[in-house]
Structure 1
Amino acid sequence: MSALKWGQGKGKGVAGPALFSLPLSFDHFVLPRVLRRPVRILARLGEGEFQAPRFSAAIMSAVLIASSGAYGAYLGGHADGIVQSITARTGFAVDQVKVVGNRQTSEIDILDRLELDGWTSLIGFDAEAARERIATLPWIEVAAVRKVYPHTLEVRVEERQAFALWQQGSDLSVIEKDGAVIAPFSGGKQVLLPLLIGAGAPAKAPEFLAKIEKYPDLATRIRGYVRVGDRRWDLKLDNGITVKLPEDGEDQALAELVGMDHDKGLLSRDIAAVDMRLSDRLVVQLTPEAVTQREAALNEKPKALKRKPETKI
């Protein structure tokens, strides 16, 4: 109790408490509970009564060296590498990656953005930085990277929606509905997308293609939508016919075109173009072969009339 309550037993001949042979005597002073044990140990150490555990010096030296090394690694920017190395070799190395949601983006491109090596630790892996790298891929709209301990990474992506192909000169790109370019055309199922040609085509295409969808038979035959002067559309059909639509009144022109094809098979004839730019007339341009055949038929008609025998009365 003498170490806890100083100042008690102040009679003559009674020595007060001391620390390292220095008298510590204060009337009626009690140490806080948290300091009592450390003060006892220090008092015993000063009187030579306390003996340190075996190997304590070696342990303290090792702790000092380790802490110095850790501090040096921190100052030198190598702390992350040390953590990666230690944790990877204790069972936390990434050895499995699950990729979900990719259709146009290859898994190889996603794995490349993860920047993994044979000893990447899941503990020290920066998932947010990896997510940002994956988000830079052309088709990726949203990406998420999740750690699944002890050794798995899960990558979930949402890709941008392709609307059409857009041709400008010799460049062919896949675009979204708002006209934003996603990536260069790479083949595959992308060939099934509508083909837009010319400047200004992406901005006007969503509204115009919605009109075309009202006529499925015509839509299946269109191979290209050409924007002319950013004012009107030409339709390129699968049999080579070009339909020149007017600048105004597209809906009426499309309805008339489909009606004439249904009644008279207009778009199945040997013609090169159907010009509907004038509101009061429709002009049909024949193919060179059809022109030659027509001229031959016209030249043959007078000869046939000359050869016709006269009728006697």
Structure 2
Amino acid sequence: MSALKWGQGRERSAAGPALFGLSLSFDHFVLPRMLRRPVRVLARLGVGEVQPPRFLMGVMSAVLLASSGVYGACLGGHADGIVQSITARTGFAVDQVKVVGNRQTSEIDILDRLELDGWTSLIGFDVEAARERISGLPWIEVAAVRKVYPHTLEVRVEERKAFALWQQGDKLSVIEQDGAVIAPFSGGKQVLLPLLIGTGAPAMAPDFLARMEKYPELASRVKGYVRVGERRWDLKLDNGITVKLPEDGEDQAIAELVGMDHDNGLLSRDIAAVDMRLSDRLVVQLTPEAATQREAALSEKPKSLKHKPETKI
């Protein structure tokens, strides 16, 4: 049997194997296979049969010092910094970042949330923490950060969908379809979004704007949808006319308005407002200039009738 067996025969010599002067003799004990060779070498070192290399003590001292340093760094919370420094200087420093999917979010803002310092190691970089920081940006709905070795970070984002602009007092914000505020208005292509004005407008706007799509010619002329008293809508047109819709029967009122404009060019006249709040009548308010001209025309009419010569029969 090739396994080491120590102390199985009590008739053997009492002096069994020893390691550095310590007896390794146990009754009926067999070492595991993986430990047999190292124990033999150590036993031979202990009895002086093997001469250790000259540099062994130096190596052991270096290992001891290195392990002590690593242990101290772990206790002090500096292990990550050491790993980052070593791996960054061995070819794993992040020197390229690919950003995909951003339209409203500045790439500079995304890079800022990555918190790269020029010597950041790809190996020690925490992608989950970076993802959470990027997700905190106003327009970001979903973010993913991926390592591409040896030195590239890939950032993919999905942004929130803008539905309209919402004005409350002097505050103008971009909102989603459910009314959630995304970010303050910053210009650019955001000016093409529908403008909602007043308290309660975001909650009622999705359904109302969907119905307005049935009348694209009118919808294209609307510059602002004003929610009045959280009960009804006013339409602010591009030529300054205000259309006051009723609280009930909005669809019928809009259809009648479109019909009158098509037949008589109502919304192209010199008027300031069209009041449709009463179901049995339509009230048209003239602009100040049109009202002045009308009064002048009415005042001239009696004079022309007074000086008109009589016709004899």
Q: Same fold (TM over 0.5)?
A: yes
Task: Report the CA distance between 1:42 and its aligned residue.
Answer: 3.1
Task: Report the CA distance between 1:65 and its aligned residue.
Answer: 0.6
Which residues of 2 match residues 14-93 of structure 1 at below 5 A? 17-19=16-18, 30-93=30-93
Match of 1:272 in 2: 272
Distance 2:259 2:2 in 1: 114
Is this contact kept in 2: 1:195–1:224, CA < 8 A?
Answer: yes
Distance 2:288 2:22 in 1: 122
Identity of aligned residues (%): 85
The 3-state SS of whatever aligns with 2:66 is: helix
Is this contact kept in 2: 1:233–1:246, CA < 8 A?
Answer: yes
Distance 1:129 1:186 in 2: 28
Is this contact kept in 1: 2:165–2:193, CA < 8 A?
Answer: yes
Is this contact kept in 1: 2:164–2:195, CA < 8 A?
Answer: yes
Distance 2:24 2:171 in 1: 91
Distance 1:37 1:234 in 2: 93
Match of 2:168 in 1: 168
Match of 1:249 in 2: 249
Distance 1:131 1:181 in 2: 22
The 3-state SS of whatever aligns with 2:124 is: coil
The 3-state SS of whatever aligns with 2:234 is: strand
Distance 2:138 2:197 in 1: 22
Match of 1:153 in 2: 153
Distance 2:53 2:130 in 1: 48
Task: Report the CA distance between 1:36 and its aligned residue.
Answer: 2.5
Distance 2:215 2:8 in 1: 108
Distance 2:224 2:22 in 1: 101
Task: Report the CA distance between 1:39 and its aligned residue.
Answer: 3.2
Instruction: Return the letter of the residue paired with 1:295.
Output: E
Distance 2:148 2:234 in 1: 54
Distance 1:214 1:2 in 2: 94
Compute the TM-score of the two structures, normalised by the length of structure 2.
Answer: 0.94
Match of 1:108 in 2: 108
Residue 94 (str. 1) matches residue 56 (str. 2): no
Is this contact kept in 2: 1:6–1:16, CA < 8 A?
Answer: no
Task: Report the CA distance between 1:140 and its aligned residue.
Answer: 0.3
Distance 2:233 2:161 in 1: 24
Instruction: Return the letter of the residue paired with 1:153.
Output: L
Is this contact kept in 2: 1:2–1:8, CA < 8 A?
Answer: no
Is this contact kept in 2: 1:225–1:236, CA < 8 A?
Answer: yes
The 3-state SS of whatever aligns with 2:150 is: coil
Is this contact kept in 2: 1:122–1:150, CA < 8 A?
Answer: yes
Is this contact kept in 2: 1:16–1:24, CA < 8 A?
Answer: no
Is this contact kept in 1: 2:18–2:25, CA < 8 A?
Answer: no
- Structure 2 CA distance for partners of 1:30 and 1:129, relative to 1, 3 Å: closer
Distance 1:114 1:7 in 2: 65
Distance 1:29 1:71 in 2: 35
Distance 1:125 1:70 in 2: 20
Task: Report the CA distance between 1:2 and its aligned residue.
Answer: 9.6
Is this contact kept in 1: 2:141–2:158, CA < 8 A?
Answer: yes
How many pairs are equivalent?
Answer: 312
Distance 2:285 2:265 in 1: 15
Distance 1:2 1:159 in 2: 70
Task: Report the CA distance between 1:300 and its aligned residue.
Answer: 1.1
Residue 119 (str. 1) matches residue 119 (str. 2): yes
Is this contact kept in 1: 2:221–2:237, CA < 8 A?
Answer: yes
Distance 1:117 1:209 in 2: 48
Structure 2 residues without counterparts, runs of 5 or longer: none
Instruction: Return the letter of the residue paired with 1:189.
Output: K
- Structure 2 CA distance for partners of 1:266 and 1:47, relative to 1, 3 Å: same
Instruction: Return the letter of the residue paired with 2:155.
Output: V
Distance 1:195 1:24 in 2: 89
Give deviations 1:32-76, integer Å, cap 9, x for gaps.
Answer: 433422332233223211111231111111111111011111111
- Structure 2 CA distance for partners of 1:297 and 1:44, relative to 1, 3 Å: same
CA RMSD of aligned residues (A): 2.1
Give deviations 1:274-299, integer Å, cap 9, x for gaps.
Answer: 00000111111111111111111111
- Structure 2 CA distance for partners of 1:116 and 1:6, relative to 1, 3 Å: closer
The 3-state SS of whatever aligns with 1:156 is: strand
The 3-state SS of whatever aligns with 1:94 is: coil
